[in-house]
C-alpha cells in the first residue's frame, strides 16, 4: 500500500456524532490524512472545539450542530458543509444513542430514540448526500455498526436491532449505488474504551471482553479510525458492501460461547 493511496487531500468527510469518542478519533485521523473534515454533532460546542483544534494543527475543518433525526437539521448541515468545502465526498454515520438491559426493561421511548438515531438518521443522511455523490460519480459511505450486530450478546437486543439494520442498509446501498461510483461499507467495532463505554462496562466487564478476544487485548479508538481512513481511500477502491469487524476476533469467538480463550492460550504456553 502506498502513501498516495491513503492521501485523502481531495476528500471532504462529514462525520455524524463526530465530537467525541470514535467520531473524534476518526475526525483527527482523516485530518492527518489530508481530508477536510466536517464534525457534525448534537453537541455543537464539542463540534466547534474539535474543528478549532484541527485547524490549529494546520488542517481544514468545520464544526456544526446536527440532529440526525430532524430532516431540516440534516439538510442544513449538508448544505453548510457543501458551501464551505464545495461538496461532501465521504459520509461517516457514527451518531448513536444506546441503552442496554433486559429486553422487558427497555421502554418504548428509549427504543424509539435508538431507532431514530441509528436507523432513521443513517437513512436521512444518505438521502441528502447521495445526489451530489452521484453527480460527481464518486463517494464513500461508512456506517459505524457493532459486533453486537454480528454475534449474540446478552442485554443488547434493541441495540443489535439498529446495528444489524445499519449493516442491511450498507448491503442494500452498495448494490444500489455501485454504478454511480459510490462505495458503501460498515465498520463493526467491539467494545472500545470511550467516555460512553466506560460508563457501561466496569473493570470486570472489560477484563471479560479482553479474555474472550482472540488477540488478547482491548482495542483503541485509533484502531477504528485507521480502518475508517483505509475504507475511504483508494486502497479500498474495490471494496463495497462489506462489514469489517474491528474487534480482535471477538465476534467470531462470541459465536462459540463457553470457550475461555485466555485459558486455552495458557495451556499452550502462550501469555494471555
Residue 172, helix vs strand vs coil: helix
Integer Cα distance of 16 and 67 in angstroms: 9
Give the alpha-carbon dihedral of 17, 75, 85, 19, to 10 degrees: -10
Instruction: Give 3-state DSSP helix, strand, coil % of the chain, rounded to 5.
Output: 55, 15, 35
In contact, 253 and 216? CB cutoff 8 Å = no
Q: State yes or no: is 100 an active-site residue.
A: no
CA–CA gap between residue 244 and residue 166 (Å, rounded): 13
Q: Annotated catalytic residue: which of 87, 100, 155, 159?
A: 159
Q: What is the C-alpha to C-alpha distance for residues 210 and 121, in angstroms, rounded to an integer?
A: 32
User: What's the rounded Cα separation, in Å, for the pair 45 and 76?
Assistant: 17
Q: Which residues are catalytic?
A: 159
Amino acid at each position: 500500500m502506498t502513501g498516495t493511496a491513503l492521501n485523502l487531500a481531495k476528500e471532504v468527510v462529514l462525520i455524524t456524532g463526530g465530537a467525541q469518542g470514535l467520531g473524534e478519533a476518526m475526525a483527527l485521523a482523516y485530518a492527518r490524512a489530508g481530508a477536510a473534515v466536517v464534525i457534525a454533532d448534537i453537541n455543537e460546542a464539542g463540534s466547534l472545539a474539535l474543528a478549532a483544534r484541527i485547524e490549529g494543527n494546520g488542517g481544514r475543518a468545520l464544526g456544526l450542530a446536527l440532529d440526525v433525526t430532524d430532516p431540516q437539521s440534516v439538510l442544513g448541515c449538508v448544505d453548510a458543509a457543501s458551501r464551505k468545502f464545495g461538496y461532501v465526498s465521504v459520509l461517516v454515520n457514527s451518531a448513536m444513542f444506546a441503552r442496554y438491559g433486559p429486553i422487558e426493561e427497555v421502554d418504548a421511548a428509549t427504543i424509539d430514540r435508538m431507532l431514530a438515531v441509528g436507523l432513521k438518521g443513517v437513512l436521512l443522511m444518505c438521502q441528502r448526500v447521495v445526489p451530489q455523490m452521484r453527480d460527481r460519480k464518486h463517494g464513500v459511505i461508512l456506517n459505524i455498526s457493532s459486533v453486537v450486530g454480528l454475534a449474540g450478546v446478552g442485554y443488547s437486543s434493541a441495540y443489535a436491532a439498529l446495528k444489524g439494520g445499519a449493516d442491511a442498509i450498507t448491503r442494500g446501498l452498495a448494490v444500489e449505488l455501485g454504478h454511480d461510483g459510490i462505495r458503501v461499507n460498515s465498520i463493526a467495532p467491539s467494545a472500545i474504551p470511550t467516555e460512553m463505554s466506560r460508563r457501561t462496562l466496569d473493570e470486570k466487564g472489560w477484563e471479560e471482553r479482553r479474555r474472550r478476544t482472540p488477540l488478547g487485548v482491548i482495542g483503541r479508538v485509533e484502531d477504528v479510525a485507521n480502518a475508517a481512513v483505509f475504507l475511504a481511500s483508494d486502497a479500498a477502491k474495490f471494496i463495497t458492501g462489506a462489514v469489517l469487524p474491528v474487534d480482535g476476533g471477538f465476534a467470531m469467538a462470541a459465536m462459540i460461547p463457553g470457550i475461555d480463550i485466555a485459558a486455552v492460550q495458557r495451556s499452550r504456553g502462550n501469555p494471555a
